């Protein structure tokens, strides 16, 4: 059965320009525990005092997950991991020729001695040990087997096979992991796959098939450069494609949104599983299929993630989708009227980038000549914020951009410092959003203006 080690707090914090506060890390660890990940890599305590404090606080929470501290092969580093109360230390030491020659200036024999000494030292402190061969996929395979078996003999019960540069392909990785499994003394094998070619999750899945035990993930695929497998993608792929049911899927959307908020690092709309468009359908043929039976164009039901499917209305839309949308509003139209409404929508779509709910209602009014007493689901509003003088405006902007319902943020002149364009389902949701905006550190006051109509200019 596959295991997951989530390293959002260690690898994830190695994402360019991303840093978490101690409180945020504690919150992230609790959220990860609610998903049921097997291990949480909480950080490398040698990095900074705050990283050490966060590990200590997380280790004292009594979470279900095993708490891992990362460390280079150094006794002070391992002492710090112990002092933080971690269950396990992940000791990493590179093994590829290029790393040994250019970075570490060690011979292969010296490397083995350093690795085994430090593993024995950590075991002496009562820590469980994972040994990570950094840059393992570019390491001479025979040497890798020697190093890992020496590490196991010294007391490591897990080996992390790290594709540090993300250079593997699934079929090659499968062969390698299979061979490693056969050649290693009894131990668990972790897979740490970087995503430089977009193959990280595919490689990791192939590696699990080949006999490895554990995949390293981060929320939103954070990490050095292009990151490592995304937690939600990994869990849902294993759940739906491999029948792994031990993880809790429902919190995944919330965790992803929380990480967007606290990292200021935003996922693309077309990101699998958690991306905004993952269950949004557009073309007439697709939406027609979806309305007849969602299985025609959905790999799985969005409710698995607590999500809803969405149908975009614009020039690609066919009659059935427009009819379904009008039905939702309680607007009845004849077949002939529907035909004209769709034509109008297509014309408008040719002139504009985006069509809003109010446009559809306007068109229905024009075409039928009947007044429509409909309140659109969508509410657009402008939230103006004044920021405390000692706080960077950009800090508040970053937090605001983390809200899924905030579509644009402007820094402005005048009485207010920031204006955010928000889009919510209803007045209650608007109220909740404003309440939450007011809790952002540094926000002095807000003023909200509801948008009654929105027009696009010539430049769209
Ligand atoms: C790094 C180290 C590491 C370690 C992975 C692990 C890698 O280069 O920052 O401990 O399993 O990618 O090799 O993240
Ligand atoms: Cu890494």
Among residues 99, 239, 286, 390, the one annotated as catalytic is: 286
| Radius of gyration over every alpha carbon of the chain, rounded to an integer in angstroms | 26
Q: How confident is the model at residue 37 (pLDDT cuts 50, 70, 90)?
A: very high
Q: Would you say 150 and 112 are in contact if contact means Cβ atoms under 8 Å apart? A: yes
**pLDDT at residue 460 above 60?**
no
User: For the segment 256-296, what is each residue's pLDDT rounded down to a tens digit?
Assistant: 999 998 998 889 989 999 998 999 998 989 999 999 999 99
Q: How does the average pLDDT of the chain come out, rounded?
A: 94
Record the pTM. Answer: 0.84
Ligand 1 near 164 CB (within 6 A): yes
More confident position, 379 or 191: 191
Reported as type and span, the H/E element at residue 444 is strand 443-450
Which ligand 1 atom minimizes the distance to the CA of 162?
13
Ligand 1 near 7 CB (within 6 A): no
Q: Would you say 58 and 84 are in contact if contact means Cβ atoms under 8 Å apart? A: no
**Tell me, what DSSP letter sits at residue 102?**
I
Which ligand 1 atom minimizes the distance to the CA of 92?
10
Give the Cα separation of 194 and 214 in Å (integer): 15
For residue 135, give the 3-state DSSP assignment. coil
Q: Which of 248-252, 259-263, 326-330 has the lowest mean pLDDT?
A: 326-330
- Helix, strand, coil shares of the chain as percentages rounded to 5? 45, 20, 35
Give the Cα separation of 33 and 30 in Å (integer): 5
Per-residue model confidence (pLDDT) at position 375: 65
Closest-CA residue, ligand 1 atom 12, reads: 164
215-220-225 Cα angle (round to 5): 85
Give the Cα separation of 314 and 332 in Å (integer): 20
Tell me if residue 286 is catalytic.
yes
- Residue ranges with strand state E in 164-262: 188-193, 214-217
Average pLDDT over residues 117-121: 98
């Amino acid at each position: 059965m596959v295991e997951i080690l989530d390293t959002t707090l260690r690898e994830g914090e190695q994402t360019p320009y991303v840093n978490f506060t101690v409180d945020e890390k504690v919150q992230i660890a609790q959220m990860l525990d609610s998903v049921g990940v097997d291990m949480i890599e909480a950080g490398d305590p040698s990095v900074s005092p705050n990283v050490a404090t966060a590990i200590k606080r997380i280790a004292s929470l009594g979470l279900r997950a095993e708490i891992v501290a990362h460390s280079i092969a150094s006794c002070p580093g391992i002492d710090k991991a112990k002092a933080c109360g971690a269950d396990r230390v992940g000791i990493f030491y590179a093994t590829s020729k290029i790393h040994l020659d250019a970075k570490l200036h060690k011979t292969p024999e010296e490397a083995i001695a350093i690795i085994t000494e430090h593993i024995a030292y950590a075991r002496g402190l009562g820590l469980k040990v994972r040994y990570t061969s950094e840059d393992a996929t570019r390491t001479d395979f025979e040497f890798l087997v020697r190093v890992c078996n020496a590490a196991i003999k010294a007391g490591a019960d897990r080996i992390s096979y790290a594709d540090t540069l993300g250079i593997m392909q699934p079929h090659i990785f499968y062969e390698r992991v299979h061979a490693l499994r056969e050649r290693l003394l009894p131990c668990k094998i972790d897979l740490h796959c970087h995503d430089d070619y977009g193959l990280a999750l595919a490689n990791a899945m192939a590696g699990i098939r080949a006999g490895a035990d554990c995949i390293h993930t981060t929320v939103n695929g954070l990490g050095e450069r292009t990151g490592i497998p995304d937690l939600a993608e990994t869990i849902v792929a294993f759940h739906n494609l491999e029948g792994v049911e031990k993880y809790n899927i429902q919190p995944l959307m919330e965790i992803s949104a929380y990480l967007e908020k606290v990292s200021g690092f935003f996922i693309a709309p077309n990101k699998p599983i958690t991306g905004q468009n993952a269950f949004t359908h557009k073309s007439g043929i697709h939406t027609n299929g979806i309305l007849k039976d969602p299985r025609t164009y959905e790999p799985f039901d969005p409710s698995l993630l607590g999500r809803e499917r969405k149908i975009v209305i614009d020039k690609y839309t066919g009659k059935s989708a427009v009819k379904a949308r009008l039905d939702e509003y309680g607007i009845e139209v004849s077949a002939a009227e529907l035909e004209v409404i769709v034509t109008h929508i297509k014309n408008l779509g040719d002139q504009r980038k985006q069509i809003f709910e109010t446009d559809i209602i306007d068109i229905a009014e024009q075409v039928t000549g009947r007044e429509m007493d409909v309140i659109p689901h969508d509410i657009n509003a402008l939230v103006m914020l004044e920021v405390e003088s000692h706080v960077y405006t950009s800090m508040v902007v970053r937090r605001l951009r983390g809200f899924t319902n905030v579509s644009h943020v402007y820094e402005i002149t005048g009485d207010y410092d920031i204006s955010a364009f928000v889009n919510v389902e209803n007045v209650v949701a608007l109220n909740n959003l404003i309440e939450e905006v007011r809790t952002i550190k540094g926000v002095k006051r807000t003023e909200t203006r509801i948008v009654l109509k929105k027009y696009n200019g010539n430049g769209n």
